[in-house]
Amino acid sequence: MTPFRSIAAYCPPGVSAFGLGVIAEVFGAKTLPGTPTFEIALCSDRPGAVTSDIGVPITVEHGLDALAAADLVIACPWSGFRSPPTADAVSTLQTAHHRGALIAGPCVGAFLLAEAGLLDRRRATTHWRFAATFAARYPRVRMTPDVLYVDEGQVVTGAGAMAGVDMCLHLLRREHGSAIANTIARDLVAPPHRHGGQAQYLAFPAVPATDDRLADVLAWATAHLDTALSVDTLADRAMCSRRSFYRWFKTTTGTTPHAWLRTQRLNRAEELLETTDLTVDHIAHRVGYASATAMREQFTLRRGVSPHAYRRTFRGSCQEASHADGTMPHA
């Protein structure tokens, strides 16, 4: 399927102003060098003024016909999610799904997807505060309350608030490639990739603002992916014991040092596959794998395709979205 370009955001009364802001920032008006232009349509059951969850009126220019025709349909979070959505909205969402559109439900937008039956026998997530309500209302859905987002192929759900950014960047990375997603994330000053299985919230506060040690360690590790990096190496860099560093890292980031390093290596490998002509062997050594075979195994396991197949898919996409003078977006 061709990567999405047209996006329809469903905006019922009480639509989340923050949720709309996320869509606008990730896919919206400003076009960055090397990124595609997306067409965004705000849709409701009837075009006109819709009052957002903060009381600000929003002009919605499109009805449900635009939602039915879009490549990507996003069911925005809305304050009235505890009540059933309109029958027309449910029917239109089902039509878009049957046509093959990609359907996403960040935060309590997942309630609309479940109401339409699109999540039956699938995993899904929503904001952790409403996970129990969701699970009770939709027992056929496999609620996964403690993750950032869940990708079930044609249907993707996300957790609350900032996890909507993670979900949208994940969709960009999945459909348009790593280089484009990273360019937009960089402009947003957002992490380019937090994997969906990362915890929604952390039980303890993050590193104090006055202590930049962990940030410095992560920046150093990212710049030295081509070297052998172990937990002991990172702990020594942070000037603390292995056990203390491991606990500190997990509490602060929601993931383990090993998982974080694996993600950074695969992300960097994706960028190099898209933006350079380096061989897989060369890329493997540059991102810290002992051999091309080891990288191929991890890449195929985590990304679902081989490095060569990934390059064939996304190299063309990246070139299509490059500058008119032929330059490529930088990794």
The full DSSP string for 278-326 is --HHHHHHHTT-SSHHHHHHHHHHHHSS-HHHHHHHHHHHHHHTS-TTS
143 φ/ψ sector (left φ>0, alpha ψ -120 to 50, else beta)? beta
Q: Are residues 27 and 125 in the same domain?
A: yes
110 φ/ψ sector (left φ>0, alpha ψ -120 to 50, else beta)? alpha
Q: Is the pLDDT of residue 6 over 90?
A: yes
- Which residue range(s) make up the domain with 312? 259-320
Task: Give which of 109, 102, 106 is closest to 155, Cα–Cα.
Answer: 102
Q: Is the pLDDT of residue 76 over 90?
A: yes
Whole-angstrom distance, CA of residue 70 vs CA of residue 8:
6
- The model carries a pTM of 0.72
- Beta strands 39-43 and 6-10 are parallel
Q: Are residues 102 and 163 in the same domain?
A: yes
Q: Are residues 102 and 184 in the same domain?
A: yes
CA distances (Å), origin 297, targets 12, 266, 287, 289: 45, 11, 14, 11
The average pLDDT across 43-52 equals 96
Q: Which residue has the higher pLDDT, 330 or 219?
A: 219
Whole-angstrom distance, CA of residue 145 vs CA of residue 239:
35
In this prediction, residue 206 carries a pLDDT of 39
Total count of domains within the chain: 3
Average pLDDT, the chain: 87
For 132-168, the pLDDT digits (tens) are 999 999 999 999 988 889 999 999 999 988 889 999 9
Q: Are residues 172 and 107 in the same domain?
A: yes
For 241-281, the pLDDT digits (tens) are 999 999 988 888 778 899 889 989 998 998 899 889 999 99
For 102-126, the pLDDT digits (tens) are 999 999 999 999 999 999 999 999 9
Is residue 218 included in any domain, yes or no?
Answer: yes
Task: Give which of 7, 140, 14 is closest to 70, Cα–Cα.
Answer: 7
In this prediction, residue 211 carries a pLDDT of 46
Written as six digits, the tokens of 266 are 């695969």
CATH of the domain at 313: 1.10.10.60
Q: Which residue has the higher pLDDT, 146 or 329?
A: 146
In this prediction, residue 324 carries a pLDDT of 34
